[in-house]
Amino acid sequence: MTIFKNKVVIITGASSGIGRQMALDLAEDGAWLVLAARSLDKLNSLEDECTQLGARAISVQTDVSDENQCKALIDATIAEFDRIDILINNAGITARNRFDEMQVLWPFEKVMQVNYLGSVYCSYYALPHLKKSKGQLVGVSSMTGKVGVPNRSAYSASKFAMVGFFDALRVELADSGVSVTVTYPDFVETGSRLESIGPDGNSVKEAFKRGGKVMGVEEASEIMLEAIAQRKRESILSTRGKFTPLLKILFPNLVDRLVQKAANK
């Protein structure tokens, strides 16, 4: 996709998973990358890989739940490249819990701060520059942002909020030249154990066990970058993901049973 050559692309949550793979794929395309995440060591390693692939890249340690750090990320991008073409809001954390088993409620706040407000903060400070370049805003949501999933109530709520924000923003920016794309990954195998916040507020590691089709990060990145290249309004990555929202309207009780079954696997 030569469309990304020399494009200035910010990726939050770039140190692992889909964000990392997107960075590598964009590097091969010759993009100018700004890599953001909390782990500077991982970012620096990724930066080296990207530059070896022919990209220009910088690392900016960023916790997107902190508004000031989001502003600093945008400022660093402008200082280095003098423009922004694409902002990919990919950073996210998850929590595994039943709401009636929660021992503390701050995980709901934390997940919302990272997944939703992190996108708000970064988008706010990037938007004036994206208007100048007629660039793109990208939100990486989840199928839990279309269908609520049991044991993921905090995560689902944050992704629904994210989708509502970007849907409204798309309409507001319709005459600005800035496009808004929301992507909806399904279950994606990252090759590592998932870190979640448990009902007591402590971090827990979950082994990746999931029935049915699981998408690899390479395939997920390819589909998402194709949607970004075409400035699509949304991209649902899996076949079941495309049908589930329709089934939810027509057969809501059936969908409840299906997501409960999936959550128990």
With tokens 């939050």, the residue in question is 12
Strand pairing category for 86-89 and 136-140? parallel
Q: Is residue 265 part of a domain?
A: no
Q: Is residue 100 part of a domain?
A: yes
Angle at the Cα of 121 from the Cα atoms of 118 and 122, rounded to 5 degrees: 85
Q: Domain count for the chain, please give it.
A: 1
- 175: tokens are 């005459």
Q: Is residue 184 part of a domain?
A: yes
Beta-carbon count within 10 A of 162 CB: 25
Q: What pLDDT was estimated at residue 122? A: 98
Beta-carbon count within 10 A of 56 CB: 17
Confidence of residue 244 (pLDDT cuts 50, 70, 90): confident
Q: What pLDDT was estimated at residue 232? A: 96
CATH number, domain of 93, equals 3.40.50.720
Mean pLDDT, residues 38-58 taken together: 96
Percent of the chain at pLDDT above 70? 92
Angle at the Cα of 49 from the Cα atoms of 46 and 52, rounded to 5 degrees: 150
- Whether 112 and 165 have beta carbons less than 8 Å apart is answered as no
- Whether 246 and 145 have beta carbons less than 8 Å apart is answered as no
Q: Is residue 252 part of a domain?
A: no
Q: Is the pTM of this model over 0.85?
A: yes
Q: Is residue 262 part of a domain?
A: no
Q: Is residue 66 part of a domain?
A: yes
Q: Is residue 39 part of a domain?
A: yes
The crossing angle, in degrees rounded to 10, of helices 153-172 and 118-133 is 20
pLDDT tens column, 206-217? 655 554 567 789
- 45: tokens are 């390693």
- 65: tokens are 């739940």
Among the listed residues 116, 121, 125, 155, the single catalytic one is 155
Q: Is residue 243 part of a domain?
A: no
The pair phi, psi for residue 198, each rounded to 5°, is -85, 175
* Calpha distance 78→71 (Å, rounded): 11
Residue 121 has pLDDT above 90, yes or no: yes
For the question of residue 155 being annotated catalytic, the response is yes
- Whether 125 and 71 have beta carbons less than 8 Å apart is answered as yes
Confidence of residue 226 (pLDDT cuts 50, 70, 90): very high
Q: What pLDDT was estimated at residue 193? A: 45
Query: Could you tell me the residue range of the domain that residue 46 belongs to?
Result: 2-238
